[in-house]
Structure 1
C-alpha cells in the first residue's frame, strides 16, 4: 500500500495520466469506472509543516459523536475478552486481519535496520508482531509487554521469542525509564486503550532522542453497518485522529501508511482491524511536552459484575461481525473480476 500521510507536503504530482472515464487512488475507496493504479509524489519544503492527508475527501469518514458505546473499551473488559480470544487468536483472527505480509509491510516504516536496537513491543500479545521484529533485531534486545498473561503465555511458547523479555504491563503507564528504547512498536493494541493520547505520550517518553514509534491499528469504517458494529465493539480511530495524537505528543515527521489484506483491493468502507501503520520521530530527549490529567479509567475501582458481564457479551457479539467481514471480502475477491473495486 502507498503511504497516505506525508509530512510537510506542498505540491503533489500524479504519476501517469488521468483517464476520462474514472480516477482511482491506491489505498482509498475513491473509484471511477476504471481501477488503475495511481501514485502520489509529494515534495516537502519545510519539515515543520503539519502532516497532511494525501487522499480524496471521500476517504475520510463522517464525524462521530463524542461518546460511543464501545462495550470493550476498558482494560478489565479487554483482559477477559482476551482470556478466551487468546485460545484462537493466531489461528482464527490473524488469517483474516493480520497476515505475515501485512505485518512485514506495516513494520517497514519502523526502520528496524540494526540488530542491536532496543525495541519495546507494547500490547505484543501472542508475539505475532514480535516475530516480524526479531527478523531484524536480536530477540535479546526486544521486550514484549501486554496486560494479558493468557496472550503472553502463547508468546512464551514461540521458539524465536525465547530470548525476548516478556512482562505484564499497562500501555498507558509503561515500566520503562525515559529515553530507554530505540524503537517503540504497538500493533492491535490502541483499540483497547481508554485514553489513546496517554498511550502515545508514553511512547514518546520511553524513546531515545531520534527514536521512532510505529503504531499499527484499525481504521474507522464508512459503511453504516460496519460503523455500528465498530462503535459497539471497540475504538476504530480515523486516520486524522492518529496524526493528531502523534503530533500533540510531540512527534515529528509523522507519517501514515495504509495496509490491508490483498483481497480488499484498496476498498476500506468496512474498516480494518489492522488498517494503518503510523510512525513518528522523537525530536528531543525527555518526556512529552503534552500535559494530561488523571487517567480515564481507574482499574482499582469496583464494577457491577452484571453490567460488566453484559458489556463483555455484547462487545464480543459485535466483534463477531468482524470475523465475518474478511470472509465476505474474500468471497467477493474470488467472484468479482480482477481490476474492479469490491
Structure 2
C-alpha cells in the first residue's frame, strides 16, 4: 500500500467522498483561515474520482497485523499506569493541544446537546472536555481499558455527570445502534486489530450516526519511522480510509491536524495527526464479519517477553516526547514563512 505522508505526497487526493450534512469539507480554507496557517494541509475533492496516493518506498512499513511493542493490551495497560501521571502535562502540550482537539472534533458535527456520544479510549478525559462543550455531559459515556487514566477523568469537574467505565475498544459493551456519535482520540494506535475497533464503531452507532477517529499518521523521516514501528501503530492515511470503508461507513473523510509550530510538516510523526469521519447509512451490525479476536488478554504471557517489549516500547515513546520540543525550537529560530 502506497504512503500518503506529507513529504512527497502532493499528488494525494481524497475523492469520491461526498460531505454529509454538517461535516464540512476539506478544502483550502477553514472558517476563512488558510489551512497552511493552522498546521493543516488541504486535499483536493472531486466527485468522480477515486482515492489515490503516490507510490514510494514507505509501502514496506510494518503492517498493522503485526503489533508493535506497546500495541498489546497488557503492555498498553502498564504503559498508561505510569504515563497517566503526566499525560495531560507532557503528551498533550506537544501532540494534542486544545486548538487541535477542537478542530479535530468539528467534522463529528456535535450540533446538539441531546446527542448521545461515546468517547472510546477516552483516557484522562481531555478529548471529552471538547465534547461536553457541545453535548450535555449526561449524554456522554467515556470508556477506556486503563483505570489509571479514567481516575484522572473522574477528577475533572466538567465530566462529573458523564458515565465513566472500563472496557475494550475492540469489544464494546453496548447494544447495536446505541449512539449518535462515536469519538475516539489517541486510542487506535494501541489497538491490536484496528479494523475490529472501527467495525465496533459502526455497530454501536445508530443509522445516520457519525464516527470520528483521531490518531497518528506514519512519519516519513527514517529515524521517526524506526521508533514508530517499535512503539505503537502509526497508520497511513489510506489505511484509515480503507478500515472505515470495509466496516461499512459512507462519506468517509480525512482531515489533517497538527500543532501550529509544525507549520504543516509532519515528517517526524504526530501522536495526533488526522481526524477521520464516516457516516453509518444502515441500521444494525457492520457488514464486515471477522473471526475471533487475535489477542486474548486472559492468556498468560511470558514475563521476560512482556518486560522486553514494555522497556523497548517505552524507550521508543521517549523519542516522540522529544520531537515536539525539537519542532518548537526549530519554529522559534526559523524565519516565518520558511519551511521547517
Same fold (TM over 0.5): yes
Between Structure 1 and Structure 2, how many residues are aligned? 315
Scaled by the length of structure 2, what TM-score is found? 0.87
Matches within 5 A, 1:85-234: 85-234=83-232
- How has the CA–CA distance of structure 1 residues 193 and 39 changed in structure 2, closer, same or farther, with 3 Å as cutoff? closer
Contact 1:77 1:308 (C-alpha < 8 Å) held by counterparts? yes
Cα offset, 1:40, TM superposition? 5.3
Contact 2:218 2:236 (C-alpha < 8 Å) held by counterparts? yes
Question: Which residue does 1:57 correspond to in 2?
Answer: 54
- How has the CA–CA distance of structure 1 residues 335 and 68 changed in structure 2, closer, same or farther, with 3 Å as cutoff? farther
Cα offset, 1:294, TM superposition? 1.3
RMSD between aligned alpha carbons?
2.5
Question: Which residue does 1:284 correspond to in 2?
Answer: 282
Question: Which residue does 2:14 correspond to in 1?
Answer: 5
1:42 lines up with 2:6 in the alignment: no
Cα offset, 1:69, TM superposition? 6.5
SS of the aligned residue for 1:211 comes to strand
SS of the aligned residue for 2:119 comes to strand
Q: Computing the radius of gyration over CA atoms, which structure comes out larger, 1 or 2?
A: 1
Cα offset, 1:42, TM superposition? 2.9
The CA deviation string for residues 105-136 of structure 1, in whole angstroms up to 9 with x for no partner, is 00000000010000000000000000000000
Cα offset, 1:61, TM superposition? 4.2
Per residue, is there more strand in 1 or in 2?
A: 1
The CA deviation string for residues 181-200 of structure 1, in whole angstroms up to 9 with x for no partner, is 00000000000000000000
- How has the CA–CA distance of structure 1 residues 221 and 284 changed in structure 2, closer, same or farther, with 3 Å as cutoff? same
Scaled by the length of structure 1, what TM-score is found? 0.87
- List alignment gaps of at least 5 residues for structure 1: 16-24, 30-36
- List alignment gaps of at least 5 residues for structure 2: 1-11, 19-26, 29-34
